[in-house]
Structure 1
């Protein structure tokens, strides 16, 4: 249903905002986080356009535990500037027939829950992140691995953070969400078996603490999808943009 898809986009965008805001406040206080924001996302499935989403922000950051809505991480080990964390996150990537005419006659693809391990390496103003997560509910039985590098540059009260990333989604994950089974094929929608694919992203964010006693953050990211996704008859683009603006503070 479109309501479910809209809710999924809200939760995902809210988690991005919360995580980004706390990342900009690593030296700040621990505790509960609240705020507001707005996000704009592009869908890659056919039949969807841009979505502008108002976002409530609620989160928590402690010594080891971080919770941002349904996104949870727990620091397992810290060795100098290297840390290892366990991660738990929902995957809102499914669809059903009512979402778009392109899905008519297709079996529902379910949302799922991912769990895995992440590693962070901090070196002065640089941050290198890597993580691997697996489908814990057995819907796709797939796996996704990510690697990203970011840099923080401060000019006066503003922090500028460019970030570049690469990810690999295995064939089980991509085929579940972007493949078309033989019994789902029609004259307008060919059968399609997707393989594993590499995706890329690049973006930047600006953050400053000068407004209303909290952290204001503006960000933009561009995602390039691999051919296994962009060649699917269910998609109509090979890249997409997302943007957000948020304000938050700790209790």
Structure 2
């Protein structure tokens, strides 16, 4: 790390994040996920937490990247809930795709397309808008987004196969659907090198997910906490 920090134009940092998610599946009230935060940025790549971007185009207001993302806290095990007994494990996955951002003085718009590298081979397409309000050491960033999930993704995560069906858990084949999300991200610069991050959000799932017999609720909330020390 000491070597990379000395490279011209490079920045790096380390920290820790914590994710608290309201449970979506029946019998799972909430989930807590520890998120190691490793940040590195130069003119070619940007890495933060579970996301690695290779910069394809970097202009003043537009950026296009090739993105690799590992899904944290995704999927489930049959042991996570009595209702999931007999279900095959669904695993978190590596995602590959592309993302672009366009920034103006009023809004920052981002678009992302990702495809699962294994398991479901599903795809997702996301469009999101946000605006940053600055006040002293604080940044307040409200955001709103919509995400489309294809039938392979939905069926893998929320479908019930014939061999998994039982009384009270009927056969279900997932269909493509959309999700709407929104929230508020707060960044506070404690010092020049230290940053504290809080993200409070909620997500509403479409019928393709909410109709699944595995799902307990259509709308869930989440809280993200993070600390980063930048060198």
TM-score interval (norm. to shorter):
0.7 to 0.9
Q: CA deviation at 1:37?
A: 4.0
Verify: 1:40 aligned to 2:20, yes or no: yes
5+ long unaligned stretches in structure 2: 1-8
Structure 2 counterpart of 1:166 = 146
Once residues 47 and 167 of structure 1 are traced to their aligned partners in structure 2, the CA distance between those partners, rounded to angstroms, is 25
Give CA-to-partner distance per residue, 1:31-54, whole Å, 9 cap, x none: 221124443211201121223455
Count of aligned pairs between the two proteins: 222
Larger mean CA deviation between 187-196 and 79-88 belongs to 79-88
The correspondence for 2:115, drawn from 123, 126, 134, is 134
Verify: 1:201 aligned to 2:178, yes or no: no
Larger mean CA deviation between 48-57 and 86-95 belongs to 48-57
TM-score (norm 1): 0.81
5+ long unaligned stretches in structure 1: 1-28
Structure 1 counterpart of 2:44 = 64
Verify: 1:95 aligned to 2:89, yes or no: no
Shift in CA distance, 54/195, structure 1 to aligned 2, threshold 3 Å? closer
Structure 2 counterpart of 1:107 = 88
Matches within 5 A, 1:1-80: 30-53=10-33, 55-80=35-60
Partner SS state of residue 128, structure 1 = strand
Shift in CA distance, 111/207, structure 1 to aligned 2, threshold 3 Å? closer
Once residues 218 and 229 of structure 1 are traced to their aligned partners in structure 2, the CA distance between those partners, rounded to angstroms, is 27
Verify: 1:190 aligned to 2:170, yes or no: yes
Shift in CA distance, 211/42, structure 1 to aligned 2, threshold 3 Å? farther
Structure 2 counterpart of 1:233 = 213
Verify: 1:249 aligned to 2:216, yes or no: no
Give CA-to-partner distance per residue, 1:2-48, whole Å, 9 cap, x none: xxxxxxxxxxxxxxxxxxxxxxxxxxx84221124443211201121
Does the 8 A contact of 2:127 with 2:147 survive in 1? yes
Over aligned residues, Cα RMSD in angstroms? 2.0
Does the 8 A contact of 1:30 with 1:250 survive in 2? no
Partner SS state of residue 169, structure 2 = coil
Q: CA deviation at 1:84?
A: 0.8
Does the 8 A contact of 1:125 with 1:153 survive in 2? no
Q: CA deviation at 1:125?
A: 4.5
Once residues 159 and 172 of structure 1 are traced to their aligned partners in structure 2, the CA distance between those partners, rounded to angstroms, is 38
The correspondence for 2:158, drawn from 178, 181, 190, is 178
Q: Which has the larger share of helix?
A: 1
Q: CA deviation at 1:198?
A: 0.5
TM-score (norm 2): 0.87
Q: CA deviation at 1:211?
A: 4.9
Give CA-to-partner distance per residue, 1:131-186, whole Å, 9 cap, x none: 1011122x112110000000011123321110000000001110111011122211
Once residues 246 and 175 of structure 1 are traced to their aligned partners in structure 2, the CA distance between those partners, rounded to angstroms, is 32
Once residues 120 and 63 of structure 2 are traced to their aligned partners in structure 1, the CA distance between those partners, rounded to angstroms, is 29
